[in-house]
Structure 1
Amino acid sequence: MKTILYVTDFYYEAKGRKYYEEDLFITSHLKEHFNILIGHPHQVLNYLDMADMLVFRNTGSVIGYQEYFNRFVTIAKEKNILTFNSFDGKADIKGKQYLLDLMDLDYPVIPTIDTLEDLNKLGDPSTFVLKLKNGADSIGMEFLTMEEVQKIDVKGRLIQPYLDFEYEVSFYYLNNSFQYALYAPNKDKRWDLIAYEATKDDLVFAEKFVHWNEMERGIVRIDACRLKNNSLLLVEVEDLNPFLSLDALSEPKRNTFLENFITVLKKL
């Protein structure tokens, strides 16, 4: 039986999400097929040689230990450690610069700038959203008026218009294969998720970003917002450690995902 080093932080606190419950649930199923070692992301370098593969899951934002995380990724690649996710994505794992890049490539993303000189690209919203370029879990997010935005130091931050969207929806992919979708009917409660039946057009939208990201293996969550004209715009591509919201799935769908996840890990 192969051994997995399952990296998580049971004590990480995130609004509306209980990371530890999801990881306890997943590992309770993985243990039937693998030997499971559980490690903390701040100590993972001490245990890289103890397992056949490493599964990097609900560790929360790496902003608090970015230098250590970067060293871990470098060493894992140097030692040819088999990791899941594979740390070769181009999106959130590298920060939020990709939103600017995708906008320049005319992908359907929320308009995003990082300099006040480009404010005209955002139209004339009453409110702006500021995000850290290396942020996650809404860390450092602010909502400002035009007058307030024009007085700030933008360095290290992104500016987006605050959009009056209908709802947010997330599409979950395992090794580039669509698994399920969830959405938040109440846009003020981002993590009150329920099942969503993705349409063909929805998946065409989501897979543009899955294919662009070119990640070799892992779980990717494509977050989008539905505008009042029914179009979708990208919010983010979470390609490091996306929370899966498995508790929002029906039991059959949850079991199907777990079976697919186990199958993928066994094939590695």
Structure 2
Amino acid sequence: MTTRHGVRRPSLLLVTDLGYQARGRRYCDEDIFLSSRLREAFDVALCHPRDAAALLDRFDAVLVRNSGPVLHYPEAYEAFRARAVELRVPVYNPLTGQGDMAGKEYLVELSRAGFPVIPTVDRAADLGLLPEAGEYAVKPKLGADSEGLRFVAGSDIGAELAGEADGVLLVQPRIGFRYEVSFYFVDQDFQYALYAPDPERRWVLEPYAASAEDLDFARRFIVWNSLPYGIQRVDACRTAEGELLLVELEDLNPYLSLDRVGEEVREAFVARLTASLASMTG
């Protein structure tokens, strides 16, 4: 803890990759903005994810933000997790997430359990559990940002997977949808929603007025994940029939698209995040 103007302030290590290249988006701008605002309540330092493990013992808490897909630095990420547990340094989000933080296995589990998700299997023998489709999406279970994603004709899907090891790939029917929508939460509290009216332009987002039914859908996955605190983004698609299906539960370092919301919403988010971090470090 440090002292500034007679007030003891917690120190916060914000883990981010300011050089990460995302398609059509500048993730670094979001973290520069957040760090400037969080300095009102914390002593903040930024570091690259490869440096986080070595710096943990100097801070009261860690906030993992736009640090890029961990598959780009798996050894450093595992070292960070182990060191955080060893030092008992609070990490935001907690390292117990069951969503993307733990890989994509949860999509298979939720599909088997009957949750409203895009039907998903990870074994060739289970292809019969999927609805018939003209095309199937095939992607690595440990992938990110659509890396390795390919589409396979329905007539070819069995042969395509014949030589693949079980548990490595995810297979889903290619869903025709009206739009994608994301719901953003801090702790258990809904903050805002954004959607992409044009399915071909995923990150051209606009504010979305979530209905009570929409929020019931999104909260079902927040409750399932059972994180005690943290930022989560529930990504879904609206099918041609009007149903919402889960696409992804991002609970590690969800991009927030704060530049796509109004000032009032953005300020409310910052205030809620600050309060959540203060509760964690207090």
Normalised by the size of structure 2, how large is the TM-score?
0.92
**Which residue does the alignment assign to 2:229?**
217
Tell me what 2:142 maps to: 134
Q: Secondary structure at the match of 1:13?
A: coil
1:261 aligned to which of 251, 259, 273: 273
Contact 2:56 2:83 in 1 (8 A): no
1:147 deviates by: 4.0
Greater Cα shift, 97-106 or 114-123: 114-123
> 2:227 and 2:118 mapped to 1: Cα distance?
22
Match of 1:159 in 2: 171
> Which residue pairs with 1:19 in the alignment?
27
Cα displacement (A) at 1:213: 0.4
Preserved contact between residue 61 and residue 136 of structure 1 (Cα < 8 Å): yes
Conservation of the 8 A alpha-carbon contact between 2:49 and 2:76: no
Which residue of structure 1 lines up, in the alignment, with residue 94 of structure 2? 86
In 1: Cα distance, 2:230 partner to 2:190 partner: 12
1:173-252 matches, within 5 Å, as: 173-252=185-264
Provide the C-alpha distance between the structure 1 equivalents of 2:80 and 2:136, rounded to a whole number of angstroms: 35
TM-aligned CA deviation for residue 17 of structure 1: 2.1
Match of 1:7 in 2: 15
What is residue 52 of structure 2 aligned with on the other side? 44
Q: Distance in 2 between matches of 1:11 and 1:149?
A: 38
CA distance in 2, matches of 1:193, 1:93: 24
- The Cα RMSD (Å) is 1.2
| CA shift digits 1:214-258 (9 cap, x unpaired) | 112110000000012211010010000000000000111111111
Q: Distance in 2 between matches of 1:137 and 1:38?
A: 23
What CA distance in whole angstroms lies between the structure 2 residues aligned with 1:16 and 1:178? 26
Q: Residue deviations 1:85-107, cap 9 Å, x none?
A: 11111111110001111111110
Q: Secondary structure at the match of 2:144?
A: coil
Query: 1:132–1:140: 8 Å Cα contact kept in structure 2?
Result: yes
Give distance in 2, aligned partners of 1:97 and 1:30.
Answer: 34
Q: By how many angstroms is 1:149 displaced?
A: 2.5
Asked if the contact 2:229/2:276 (under 8 Å) is kept, the reply is no
Write the deviation string for residues 102-145 of structure 1: whole angstroms up to 9, x where unpaired.
11111011000112222222222111111111111111111111
Question: Secondary structure of 2:106's match?
Answer: helix
Of 171, 174, 180, which residue of structure 1 is paired with 2:183?
171
After the TM superposition, which of the residue ranges 149-158 and 196-205 deviates more from structure 2? Answer: 149-158
Unaligned runs of 5+ in 1: none
Q: Is the 8 A contact 1:8 1:56 kept in 2?
A: yes
Structure-1 separation of matches of 2:24 and 2:224: 30
Whole-Å Cα distance in 1 between the matches of residues 275 and 241 of structure 2?
40
For the residue of structure 2 that corresponds to 1:216, the secondary structure is: coil
Q: Which residue number in structure 2 is paired with residue 28 of structure 1? A: 36
Q: Which residue of 2 aligns with 1:99?
A: 107
CA positional deviation for 1:78: 2.0
TM score, norm. by length of structure 1: 0.97
Aligned to 2:132: 124
Residues 48-67 of structure 1: CA distance to partner in whole angstroms, max 9, x if unpaired? 01111110000010012123
Measure the CA separation in 1 of the matches of 2:210 and 2:136. 29
Counterpart of 2:268, as a letter, is T
| Structure showing greater Rg | 2
Equivalent residue, structure 1, for 2:6: none
Is the Cα contact below 8 Å between 1:114 and 1:154 reproduced in 2? no
Q: Equivalent residue of 1:55, what SS? A: strand
